[in-house]
Amino acid sequence: MDPKGLLERAGLPPYPLEPLAGGDIARVYRAGPYVVKVHPNPPKGLFPAEARGLKALEEAGVRVPRVFWVGEEGLVLEYLPPGPEDWKALARALARLHRAGQEGYRAEPGFLGTFPLPGGEGKGWGAFFFEARILPLLEATRLLLGALAQEVERAFLKPLPTEGPVLLHGDLWQGNVHFAQGGPALLDPSPFVGERGVDLAMMGLFGGFPRAFWEAYEALCPIPEAVRRALPCYQIYYLLAHVHFFGAGYLPALRRALSACVS
Question: Residue 144: which residues within 8 A CB-CB, separation 6 or more?
Answer: 243, 247, 248, 251
Residues 74-112 have pLDDT tens digits of 999 999 999 999 999 999 999 999 998 899 999 999 999
Average pLDDT of the chain, as a whole number = 94
pLDDT of residue 2: 86
176, amino acid identity: N
**Reported pTM:** 0.95
Residue 262, pLDDT above cutoff 80: no
Catalytic pick among 24, 86, 171, 199: 171
Distance CA 121, CA 136 (A): 15
| Structural domains in the chain, sorted by start | 3-78 (3.30.200.20), 87-262 (3.90.1200.10)
Task: Identify the burial level of 143 via C-beta atoms within 10 angstroms of its C-beta, where 0-12 means exposed, 13-18 middle and 19 or more buried.
Answer: exposed
* Catalytic status, residue 171: yes
